[in-house]
Each structure stands twice: as structure tokens, then as C-alpha cells.
Structure 1
Amino acid sequence: MEAPVHSLNALFEQLGLPSSESEIETFIETHKTIAKTTPLAQASFWTPSQAAFLAEAINNDADWAEVVDQLDTMLRA
């Protein structure tokens, strides 16, 4: 299996969020309330531009899609 094109840290940087390991862990713990039926991009904590980026990554199966899926899984664990 190939490594993802982008890291989780790079995704957080792309979204304009703090991207250290501890900051990502804090974000995940804070936002784990997303409902299983809510698409990731529709979660209430994203800005409009963040939501658009996430939706586009998934809808277009972009090179960011794998790490966006990883974030989605982490927020629902």
C-alpha cells in the first residue's frame, strides 16, 4: 500500500488550522461530536472555505481524499 500523498499535518495546514501533533489531537477530541450521518464537510465547526475544500477533495477524489477520509474516521471514532 502506498503512503498518502499528503499527511494529516499538511491537511491541517491547508485548512489553516494549527498542525502540530498535540494541536491535531486537541482538535479531534474537541470535535468528535459529528453525527455519523453528517458528511464531514457539513460539520458545523468548519468555515465555508474549509467545508468547500473538504467537499471538493472527496467529490473529486483528489489527492487530498485519502487524508480527508482519515480525518473523517478520526472524528467519528
Structure 2
Amino acid sequence: MEKSYHRFSELFAQLGLPSDEAGIRHFLVQHSPLPPDILLEDAPFWNEAQAALLREEKIEDADWAEVIDQLDNALRENLN
């Protein structure tokens, strides 16, 4: 079975967020840094559907888990 890789922009599109470079950058700057004691899917800026998607895909789909981890790492950086 061939493994597929998802792009950062595809995850943002799945979350219903702007998925162009400027939109992604704006989101990361606006919500960084995410405190280390808060799980990505529990961050206060997600709506219920977004949090559920992150939670489910991280557990059920290894292809999405990798890009979700990238998002988690990006939000832990201080971009402000």
C-alpha cells in the first residue's frame, strides 16, 4: 500500500481555515506560542468540529498525524 503525505495547506483546508501561505502564517502568528501544558486539540481557538477532527485524525490516520504534529510544533514556537 502506498503511503500518502498531506501538506500543511491541506490540513488548514480540512480545518476550514485559509490555506494559502499568508493565511497559514497569520494563523500561526495569531495563536503562537501554545503553552506546553495544553494539547493541540484542546487549544481554545478551535471550534468543536476542528478539535474533533484533530483528535480523530491524530489517532486514526497516520498520514494526517504527521502533519498535525507539524502544526503542533509550529504553534509551540514564539512567532510574535
Q: TM-score, normalised by structure 2?
A: 0.86
Partner of 2:29: 29
- Is 2:52 the partner of 1:49? no
Bigger fraction of residues in helix: 2
RMSD of Structure 2 on Structure 1 (CA): 1.6
Q: Which amino acid aligns with 1:22?
A: A
Q: How many residues align?
A: 75
Q: Is the 8 A contact 1:57 1:65 kept in 2?
A: yes
Q: Normalising by the residue count of structure 1, what TM-score does the alignment of the two structures yield?
A: 0.89
Unmatched tracts of structure 2, length 5 or more: none
Residue of structure 2 in register with 1:71 after alignment: 71
Superposition misfits of 4+ residues, deviation over 6 angstroms: none
Aligned-pair distance for 1:24? 0.2
- Identity, in percent, stands at 47
Consecutive unaligned residues of structure 1, counting only runs of 5 or more, are: none
